[in-house]
Amino acid sequence: MYEDILFPTDDSVSTEATTEHAREIARGREATVHVLYVIDDRSFLTLDEEMQSDVLDELRADGQAATDAVASELLEDGIEVTTALARGDPAEEILAYAETADVDLVTMGTCGEDYTENMLGSTAQTVVSGSSVPVLTVPLERE
């Protein structure tokens, strides 16, 4: 049933718990986990081109590190993994990737670093309401 699982990560505090859920679902199903990092460029589009380039390079490196960390953890368990970076509005890019890659399930944290926005998080909320496949939301771990 779940052969391709999309795991969008923003390297937030919910990543560890979401990784556990993706691992458990993928394990034993011969599923591929697609680890996606979206560079949210909306906040720096007003910068001059040179500054945009510097910021983009830094965010690309952050995204690569985030996807590599999750992929490494899953690969250690023998789970097939593919990684990708995208740039744009996170919710739109997650939905587009899910459709293009023909995934069966999206697993994602319920909110990023700024939990004051709302409990589900605007990106997760948009993905849940716009997805044509099931979305498993993993709550933010709080102490």
Residue 143 lies in a domain: no
Question: What's residue 141's pLDDT?
Answer: 60
Domain span at 67: 4-138
**Over residues 132-138, mean pLDDT:** 95
Q: What are the two backbone dihedrals, phi and then psi, of residue 118, each rounded to the nearest 5 degrees?
A: -175, 170
Q: Greater confidence, 78 or 143?
A: 78
Residue 65 lies in a domain: yes
pLDDT in tens, 17-38: 899 999 999 998 889 999 999 9
pLDDT bucket at 39, cuts 50 / 70 / 90 = very high
Neighbours of 97 (CB within 10 A): 18
CA atoms within 13 Å, Cβ hemisphere of 110: 12
Task: Convert 102-136 to b/e letters by CB count within 10 Å (16 or more is b).
Answer: ebbbbbbbbbbeeeeeeebbebbbbbbeebebebb
**pLDDT for residue 140 is more than 80:** no
The total number of structural domains in the chain stands at: 1
Record the tokens describing residue 76, joined without a space: 């250690």
Residue 24 lies in a domain: yes
Query: Which CATH number does the domain housing residue 90 bear?
Result: 3.40.50.620
Please give the distance of CA 38 from its chain centroid, rounded to a whole number. Answer: 7
Neighbours of 143 (CB within 10 A): 2
pLDDT in tens, 72-126: 999 999 999 999 999 999 999 999 999 999 999 999 988 655 544 444 568 889 9
